[in-house]
Structure 1
Amino acid sequence: MTSLPLPPGQLGLPLIGETPSFLLDPRFAAKRQRRYGNFFKTHILGSPTVVFIGPEGCEFLLSSHMQHFAWKGGWPQNFQELLGESLFLQDGETHRRNRRLMMPAFHGKALEGYFSTMMNLAEQYQQDWAQQDELTVFPAMKQFTFEVASVLLVGSPPGAPIDQLSQWFTDLTNGLFAPPLRWRWLPYGRALRARDRLLTYIEEMIQTRQANPTQDVLGLLLQTEDEAGNRLSQEEIKVQTLLMLFAGHETTTSLLTSLMMMLGQHPAVLQQAREEQDALAATGTLTLDQLKQMPYLDQVLKETERLYPPVGGGFRQVIKPFEFKGYRVPAGWLALYRINETNRAAYAAPDRFDPDRFSPGRAEHRPSDYSLVSFGGGPRVCLGLAFAKMEMKIFAALLLRRYTWRLAANQDLSMKPIPTLRPASGLKLSLARR
């Protein structure tokens, strides 16, 4: 392997490499893909980095050769300090053990038990939004998804300070890509302070759940044990809950905002999605069983996810040297799989919004399980995927059945990628009852 060349690409300037372009240019990876192909090197965030694009590379990294990569060393220090030793940054047996302990809270009967809360909160928020002359969707959606996450993941009671908690999470999120300067008035300093306040709140909720066991995710985590009788410690539960709150609303906010934007811009797709919902509504109110009978809405959500993944990529640390496509990559490098470009690599007319590409007759995603990687893939696919998809389907189904909306004119709908993808304007629209 040592005789093989390094991947094509360039390392940029001394010390900083190509980091400024990586952070500021949304087309950073696409430009290099055109020049070097789907596998290239760069130097970002203080480390030489190899970039994977496309289903073959993602399968290599996420599944078939995942033993060459570690999560913990792959993410910038900001992520490690702000999100702690959570599932997100764990590897090996520690990760497998904790994932097994957390899995029951996100599947099966537990998931079914979350349906009514998701539905009630979606109805409440949509009714409130329809009373406003103009709604800015992204911040409003963030509050909705955070309340869902706060109630179902942590068991926050009615009347909890959702606005304050949501603001702390906004401060924490803004610190993930900020310069790690710890002064209190700078973004990273505010993020550290927000993290501490959130952990204090979570600790208080743990003590409440220990005194009064419940069936929210936090309550289930406190009760769950493996076949050997092992349980998560209180410190482990605190950091895992912080991660769940972060992951449980940031990505969903981004995708639901993009969904409303796409439906507002594509009236034919909106009409077909609405007709499917009207036919189901004629048989009764929204139910868990009805969620399984929405093939066109499934296609629309997949196409939104494909074109507008909330996060542009995922990092790993190379812990064992490897060979790929006739090139060598040493241990100690970073590896980055690009979600945005991979979600376009296997599709016809990839920049066109076309939900029918996921129809049974076309099924453009079928050749590979790694042609759509917004939630990762392989053994470490997002633990909360089923939770997020149920929440998004409930919200979208109710919205289509009951409301119309019109996008405001003369707004900036260019997409800003950091910290999660969103329209520059926040997506301004007016919502009205049908």
Structure 2
Amino acid sequence: MALPPGSLGLPLIGDTLNFLKDSQFAKKRHQQYGPIFKTSIFGQPTVFVCGPEANLFVLSHENQYFVVSWPPSTKALLGPLSLALQTGSEHQNRRKLLYQAFQPRALAGYIGGMEDITGRYLQRWTQMSEFAWYPELRNYTFDVACKLLVGIDNGSETALGHYFETWGEGLFSIPLDVPWTKFGKAKKDRDLLLAELENIIRDRQEAAPGGSDALGLLICARDDEGNSLSLEELKDQVLLLLFAGHETLTSAIASFCLLVAQNPDVMAKIRAEQQQFPATEPLTLEQLKQMTYLEQVMREVLRLVPPVGGGFRQVIKACSFGGYEIPKGWSVLYEINQTHQDSAVYPEPDRFDPDRFTGDRSTNAKPFSYVPFGGGLRECLGKEFARLEMKLFAARMVRECEWELLPDQDLNLIPVPTQHPRDGLRVKFWQTTMNLKD
């Protein structure tokens, strides 16, 4: 069987630089070669596939043809004990353990903390009036992640926040381990991050057991054999949770703020729905579930601008898809963003249209045609945490605030490490109060 069409690019680096710099990299090659093509990125021959059938094929053959894989820079910076790198029964075992921090009872306990931090930031942004929102949203989501996952207040203002920023910038980079590269700086700050996390974990282990945050649950958690997580694994897993609960959420919330500002008709519909809920009561899980139009908006935000563009897999057994051979030892990248642009599933895919997710329309979508959180055995563990934070943030924003985009800025999206506006999403921001039910 023939290999997929395409070019492996330059020796050693292949097409890595184009992949990192050009947000239209995959789209251009799909236009040239069709739904499957080969290239070479991060030192590895890689097959790009998109569409519901491709996602179904890749995500339903975990541990048979494929195992999870990441670029070398990501592997080195996440750490060998991270859930993101574990496979097989070890992955399933650890996933079950970590899920304890994201089950419904735990989520309900997070709402109060999310509300407090959101309220504090809304006041701050009102006082600032005009600013670049994306860096502020990074601080917001990091504060939420630190409080609810690790029990630390104002995490963005601590050493942890400072090191985390540099570490995140190196996650998808060329793994050249010298002090002046993004990767070299990130590797140094990983060591500093782990030292900070070790101090936090040791303090918690010596304190009274329990706590409502994820770290408290993980320290007390036991696997099926009654074993607890080692200190080294706790550090890698907490680092992953902070990344997952911060980086991708910042992208998703920023996209909501951008798209709603560009679509005032959608904003008006969200506000109309919010008027059904009491103004004086704290938000609850039950209330958030009843916000069906806001749910449609969030689904459409994640369709149009998925924070993560795709997922890497290593081929452990040669297989074929779409009439082409995929050799053992190569990588496969299943593409979330290109799948969400499939006009056969989503008519006018470039248009922001939350109504495409109304009940009668969304039931026709093909399986694996909507995969902002991945799918299969490795679907995002913190999916419901992310959805909760997005929805709570959005509800508070439209109830209490107004914002408009400032002119003369570049709103094109940079894809790495997660999608975000090039000029930082500069806005004018002020507080208002809707006429909600008493």
Q: TM above 0.5, one fold?
A: yes
Q: Which residue of 1 aligns with 2:358?
A: 359
- 1:283 deviates by 7.9
Q: Which residue of 2 aligns with 1:269?
A: 266
Cα distance in structure 2, aligned partners of 1:183 and 1:355: 46
- What letter corresponds to residue 155 of structure 1 in structure 2? G
- 1:97 deviates by 0.9
- What letter corresponds to residue 403 of structure 1 in structure 2? C
Total equivalences in the alignment:
427
- 1:49 deviates by 1.1
Q: What's the CA shift string for 1:297-347, capped at 9, x where partnerless?
A: 111111111111112221111011111122211100010111110111121
- 1:114 deviates by 0.7
Q: Which residue of 1 aligns with 2:308?
A: 311
- 1:38 deviates by 1.3
TM-score (norm 1): 0.95
Q: Which residue of 2 aligns with 1:106?
A: 102
- What letter corresponds to residue 272 of structure 1 in structure 2? K
Q: Which residue of 2 aligns with 1:37?
A: 34
Q: Which residue of 1 aligns with 2:427?
A: 429
- 1:18 deviates by 2.4
Instruction: State whether residues 143 and 154 of structure 2, in contact with CA within 8 Å, keep that contact through their aligned partners in structure 1.
Output: no
Cα distance in structure 2, aligned partners of 1:239 and 1:347: 38
User: CA 1:159–1:331 in 2, change beyond 3 Å: closer, same or farther?
Assistant: closer
Residue 151 of structure 1 aligns to a residue whose secondary structure is helix
- What letter corresponds to residue 376 of structure 1 in structure 2? G
- 1:168 deviates by 1.3
- 1:296 deviates by 0.6
Q: What's the CA shift string for 1:349-389, capped at 9, x where partnerless?
A: 0000000000112116x432311222111121000111111
User: CA 1:431–1:238 in 2, change beyond 3 Å: closer, same or farther?
Assistant: same
Q: Which residue of 2 aligns with 1:219?
A: 216
Q: Which residue of 2 aligns with 1:202?
A: 197
User: CA 1:411–1:101 in 2, change beyond 3 Å: closer, same or farther?
Assistant: same
Q: Which residue of 2 aligns with 1:288?
A: 285
Instruction: State whether residues 155 and 205 of structure 1, in contact with CA within 8 Å, keep that contact through their aligned partners in structure 2.
Output: no
- 1:215 deviates by 2.1
- 1:233 deviates by 1.4
Aligned to 1:146, which of 142, 147, 155?
142
Q: Which residue of 2 aligns with 1:416?
A: 414
Instruction: State whether residues 252 and 302 of structure 2, in contact with CA within 8 Å, keep that contact through their aligned partners in structure 1.
Output: yes
Instruction: State whether residues 46 and 333 of structure 2, in contact with CA within 8 Å, keep that contact through their aligned partners in structure 1.
Output: yes
Instruction: State whether residues 172 and 190 of structure 1, in contact with CA within 8 Å, keep that contact through their aligned partners in structure 2.
Output: yes
Cα distance in structure 2, aligned partners of 1:257 and 1:63: 31
Cα distance in structure 1, aligned partners of 2:179 and 2:13: 26
- Unmatched runs of 5 consecutive residues or more in structure 1: none
User: CA 1:65–1:246 in 2, change beyond 3 Å: closer, same or farther?
Assistant: closer
Q: Does 1:333 align with 2:337?
A: no
Cα distance in structure 1, aligned partners of 2:223 and 2:44: 38
- Map 1:19-418 onto structure 2 (within 5 A): 19-64=16-61, 67-71=64-68, 74-85=69-80, 86-156=82-152, 158=153, 162-212=157-207, 213=209, 214-281=211-278, 284-345=281-342, 346-363=345-362, 366-418=364-416
User: CA 1:376–1:94 in 2, change beyond 3 Å: closer, same or farther?
Assistant: same
Cα distance in structure 1, aligned partners of 2:34 and 2:155: 50
User: CA 1:142–1:181 in 2, change beyond 3 Å: closer, same or farther?
Assistant: same
User: CA 1:160–1:361 in 2, change beyond 3 Å: closer, same or farther?
Assistant: closer
CA RMSD in angstroms comes to 1.6
Identical residues among aligned pairs (%): 48
Cα distance in structure 1, aligned partners of 2:104 and 2:173: 38
TM-score (norm 2): 0.94
Q: What's the CA shift string for 1:118-171, capped at 9, x where partnerless?
A: 111111111111111212111000001001111111111x36663532221110
- What letter corresponds to residue 110 of structure 2 in structure 1? Y
